[in-house]
Each structure stands twice: as C-alpha cells, then as structure tokens.
Amino acid sequence: MSDGLRVEGLHFAYPDGTPVLHGINLTLAAGERVALLGPNGAGKTTLVLHLNGILHGGPGTIEVAGARVNPSDRAALAEIRRRVGIVFQDPDDQLFMPTVAEDVAFGPQNLGVRGDELTTRVDEALAAVGMSEHRDQVPHHLSFGQRRRVAVATVLAMRPEILVLDEPSSNLDPASRRELAEILEPLPVTVLMVTHDLPYALQLCPRSVIMDAGRIVADGPTPDLLGDEPLLRAHRLELPFGFHPAAR
C-alpha cells in the first residue's frame, strides 16, 4: 500500500513558547483505519490541525498521498484541504446553510464544482450517511446524531483521501453511536479517528496510536494496546467497567 499520510519529525510550540509536539513520526497506509488515543492535553488535536495546514510553523514535514503540506503555497494548501477532511466534534461548527443539501454542496461549490457533478456529489454523500430523505430540512431542526451524520457528509462531498474524525461518538445515544459506526465502516477512505471511546476504537480501527505529552508512546494493533492495562493506566486511559477487548 502507498502512504496515505506521512508525518516526520513534527514539532510545534505555541507562540508563548509552550511546546506541544515533540518529534511526531506517524505513517498511515492508504485505506488504513487508525485510532489516535491519549489523555486530554496529549497534543492529539494539535497534531490533527497540522494535517491540513491549520496549524504550522515548527520543524518537521507532512505529506498527504505524496503531496507536501506547505502553508505558504495557497494553491497547494487548497488541494491538501480537499484531500484531508476533518469532521469536528461539534457538528454545528460545520453546518450553517439553510438546508442540509446546501450545507453538503458548500465545499464542492467552493472548489468550482457545478451542475450535474455537484448534484451527484451531494446525492452520494447524503446516501453514504443515510440522510437523503432529510436533504431539504433545516440542519438545526435535526437531532444531534443526524447533524453529526450531515457533518460527515459535508466532508465526504469533497471526496477526501483521508477522513479525520474528532471524537465522533461523543454525546451520541447508543443507537446513534451504532448507526454512525455502520456508516463509517464501509467508507473507502483512510481514517484517523481521535477518540476517548476505547470500545469504539476497537470496533472501527484495527490499529491504534497512543499520544501523551506531545509524543507517540505506543503504536500497534488495537486489541493489543487495549489489553495492556499498565500501558492504559500509565497514560490515563480507561476501558468501561466490565469491558474486555479479548472478549469481543
């Protein structure tokens, strides 16, 4: 498999000098599904925001499907942002148009997609998340789980190569959580999922990476990492009471 994502030697500090990332090296093969785990303050979100150039400035390189993330090249950065789609934790950060279909069309329209191609992208994205029948509704009249699915559709309409999900199961009831998993599992894209929901990581991602204090401290098969109680304890990660990874 070719590399979907390659991060090498990535460092980052906030403007006040506080260091956040300390030499991150991470490679995802095209089509791979990887969970990014770690306690609050580990640097997970800071890493994710580097993947499409929202944050930048420290030493290190990032390549997406062979293309270098270069924030000083605006045209190249626009293409990187098409290739790396980020679904944020709060869907209301991504939904602001009068109807669901208009929200899903917004990104491709900004790329210059028009006519039948635009219609096809909107139809396909809504079908992929099971929201076709809601296309003409006002997004803020939908349930939270439905809004999260529409937020995923707004990113899928851009036809990204890498889908980054920030805490996708947070604030979802059990049925919505299961429905979202059923949507995410068949998607033909590389997935990087930031989550505190360790059972969800086990369900959706064969591989997991643990970050703590700006470093990657573990990288391996998800069942192996979640079965290592001392490792989880050392990095303030906890499985739900009574949940045993090997029992799945």
* Whole-number pLDDT of residue 71: 83
**Residue 244 — very low, low, confident or very high, per pLDDT cuts 50/70/90?**
confident
DSSP string for the chain: --EEEEEEEEEEE-TTS-EEEEEEEEEEETT-EEEEE--TTSSHHHHHHHTTTSS--SS-EEEETTEE--TT-HHHHHHHHHHEEEE-SSGGGT--SSSHHHHHHHHHHHTT--HHHHHHHHHHHHHHTT-GGGTTS-GGGS-HHHHHHHHHHHHHTT--SEEEEESTTTT--HHHHHHHHHHHTT--SEEEEE-S-HHHHHHH-SEEEEEETTEEEEEEEHHHHHT-HHHHHHTT--PPTT--GGG-
The CA distance from 197 to 37, in Å, is 9
> Would the pLDDT of 79 be above 50?
yes
* Whole-number pLDDT of residue 246: 72
Cβ distance 60 to 10 under 8 Å? yes
Q: Tens digits of per-residue pLDDT, 217-241?
A: 999 999 999 999 999 999 999 998 8
> Would the pLDDT of 56 be above 60?
yes
Q: Which domains does the chain have, with CATH numbers?
A: 3-237 (3.40.50.300)
* Whole-number pLDDT of residue 3: 67
> Would the pLDDT of 1 be above 70?
no
Helix (H) / strand (E) containing 119: helix 115-128
> Would the pLDDT of 163 be above 90?
yes
**Residue 119, Cβ neighbours under 10 Å: how many?**
13
User: What integer is the mean pLDDT of 160-180?
Assistant: 94
| pTM confidence score | 0.93
**Residue 247 — very low, low, confident or very high, per pLDDT cuts 50/70/90?**
low
Angle ∠(115,118,120) on CA atoms, nearest 5? 110
